[in-house]
Amino acid sequence: MVKTPSQQETIPFLVNGDKLNRYEFERRYNATPNLKKAELIEGLVYMAAALRFKSHSQPHAWILVWLGTYAVVTPGVELGIEPSVRLDVDNEPQPDAVLFITPEAGGQAKLSEDDYIEGAPELVVEIAASSVAIDLHAKKQAYRRNGVKEYIVWQVLDRKLSWFYLEQGEYLELSPNTQGIFQSQVFPGLWLAVTELLTGNMQQVLTVLQAGLQSPERAVFIEKLSSK
């Protein structure tokens, strides 16, 4: 029996604060017109507000320049900008950036048949307004539990960048070396001059990254990726 229009199911629009599982979240997301960004974090829907330039848009761009420079010269590594990531039944965030190793090169995440990331990318980056943001609480918990190996939160208003790495199921905070440079444990050669990034000196950020790209440990990493 064919349902009449009045009998057909009406899918509710997605609303900030909804408590949903991932499947219902996606169903409502797809039914909601003109929706640019919404995330499911620990079963709760968060919808993005308007983004300011200096507190989000510009820092986001700088992070993408840094990650993109690394990704384009590293076969087997992909960069994504605000992708929906299917972590588990209660979590489908849209991180500001993800860097992941492709499944063919031995990565832990995969692309679904409908072109979503499923599982945990190796590295996730979030641009946060301050230390009180969701990125350092519920999101951090979800990323840790699902096995995101490295998690970067740039707290723009606090002029601070926190880099966490996963060890035995817990996030520990990475410390820069004596030159003030963060060195990724998952992506050898991904070096970050954090003080220069925070002050907007992108030329020096890229100079330090180029040194990382020439490091012996990155050469070993490239060989490892190519052997998969």
The answer to whether residue 64 scores a pLDDT higher than 50 is yes
Cβ atoms of 124 and 148 within 8 Å: the answer is yes
pLDDT range class, residue 52, cuts 50, 70, 90: confident
Q: Residue 97 pairs with which residues in a beta bridge? A: 125
Global confidence as pTM: 0.90
Predicted confidence at residue 49, as pLDDT, reads 78
- CA dist 122 and 156 (Å) reads 23
**How would you class 216 by CB atoms within 10 Å of its CB: exposed for 0-12, middle for 13-18, buried for 19 or more?**
exposed
**pLDDT score at 3:** 39
Q: What percent of the chain has pLDDT over 90?
A: 80
pLDDT of residue 136: 87
Confidence band for 4, pLDDT divided at 50, 70 and 90: very low
Mean per-residue pLDDT for 17-43?
91
Checking if the pLDDT of 2 tops 50, the result is no
Q: What is the mean pLDDT of the chain?
A: 92
Q: What is the pLDDT of residues 145-176, one digit of tens each?
A: 999 999 999 999 999 999 999 999 999 999 99
**Whether the predicted pLDDT of 201 surpasses 90:** yes
Q: Which of 44, 37, 39 is nearest to 21 (CA)?
A: 44
Per the document, the length of the chain is 228
Q: What is the pLDDT of residue 9?
A: 65
Q: Convert 9-45 to b/e letters by CB count within 10 Å (16 or more is b).
A: eeeeebeeebebebebbbebbeeeeeeeebbbbbbbb
pLDDT exceeds cutoff 70 at 1:
no
Q: Domains along the chain?
A: 11-50 (no CATH), 52-226 (3.90.1570.10)
Longest dimension (CA), the chain: 73
- Asked if pLDDT for residue 5 goes beyond 60, the answer is no
Q: Which class for 123: exposed (0-12), middle (13-18), buried (19 or more C-beta within 10 A)?
A: buried
